[in-house]
A and B are shown apart, each in its own frame.
Chain A
Amino acid sequence: DVKVTQSSRYLVKRTGEKVFLECVQDMDHENMFWYRQDPGLGLRLIYFSYDVKMKEKGDIPEGYSVSREKKERFSLILESASTNQTSMYLCASSQDGSSYNEQFFGPGTRLTVL
């Protein structure tokens, strides 16, 4: 069964802290994504990776960075957390080379920055 896991379901951090959100997929997918989801704003793409060590900015990359050292793992980093980064963060993966392109999502991490 396809699976995307995220390191934490709930996380509380303080302003200025460095935050790591981890995502692991077991499907050998090439593509991995980080989104945030906020009421009234929907899902917004932060960063995307189509291969190990490759990354592309999404719609809202400011304040975030990513790391993909291994194919199965995609990390989202908040260098200095701010209160406006309080949100639900969703990781997803998809197979490359197919027009089907179903994205499989992890359960999400609800991050609160105080």
Chain B
Amino acid sequence: RKEVEQDPGPFNVPEGATVAFNCTYSNSASQSFFWYRQDCRKEPKLLMSVYSSGNEDGRFTAQLNRASQYISLLIRDSKLSDSATYLCVVIPSAYSGGGADGLTFGKGTHLIIQP
């Protein structure tokens, strides 16, 4: 059974702090990983892809640990505007030519940045 697990939180973090949360997956054949952000009562939007070597986009760093089967998201110098739910997405293949088998969203981690 495919599973993607996230700590639902909420994570209450003071403004300016660094926060990190993980997403574990059970399918070792998983190939593509993403973090999406969803604001309250809005649709999810892509935050960043997760590459094998890890990647950074401003204050955000995403990492992949294949051995332990998890991805992580690190947010530095957190802002009030970072308050949102962060969803991880795991896809088992390079996903070309159609097919959604195994495409799985985590249930999300709720982050609240406090002033």
In whole angstroms, how far apart are the Cα atoms of A48 and B102 in the complex? 12
How long is the Cα–Cα vector from A108 to B105 in the complex, in angstroms? Answer: 16
Chain B residue contacts of A42, Cβ below 8 A: 87, 105-108
Interfacial chain B residues near A105, Cβ < 8 Å = 43-45
User: Would A102 and B107 be within 8 Å (CB), given that A43-B87, A48-B100, A97-B97 are in contact?
Assistant: no
Residues in A neighbouring B42, C-beta threshold 8 A: 107
Report how far A71 CA is from B96 CA in the complex, Å. Answer: 17
Q: Which of A43, A50, A54, A96 contacts B44 (CB 8 A)?
A: A43
Instruction: Let me know if B94 is at the binding interface, CB within 8 A.
Output: yes
Question: Inside 8 A of A98's CB, which chain B residues have their CB?
Answer: 96
Total A-B residue pairs with C-beta atoms closer than 8 Å?
A: 64
**Which residues of chain A are within 8 angstroms of B8 by Cβ–Cβ distance?**
40
Indicate whether B115 reaches chain A with its CB closer than 8 angstroms: no
For A40, the closest partner residue in chain B by CB is B107
Q: Is A84 an interface residue (CB 8 A)?
A: no
User: B98 contacts A31, CB within 8 Å?
Assistant: yes
Q: Which residues of A contact B97 (CB under 8 A)?
A: 50, 96-97
Task: Output the least CB separation between A50 and chain B (Å).
Answer: 3
**Quick check: A90 and B108 within 8 Å, CB to CB?**
no
Residues of B within 8 A of A99 (CB): 31-32, 94-96
Cβ of A56 < 8 Å from any Cβ of B? yes
The interface bits of chain B over 10-44 (1 if a CB of A lies within 8 angstroms of the residue's CB, else 0) are: 00000000000000000000011010000000111
Please provide the 6 A-B residue pairs with the shortest distance between their CB atoms, ordered closest to farther.
A50-B98, A42-B107, A105-B43, A48-B100, A43-B105, A99-B94
B residues in contact (CB < 8 Å) with A: 8, 31-32, 34, 42-46, 49, 87, 89, 91, 94-101, 103, 105-108
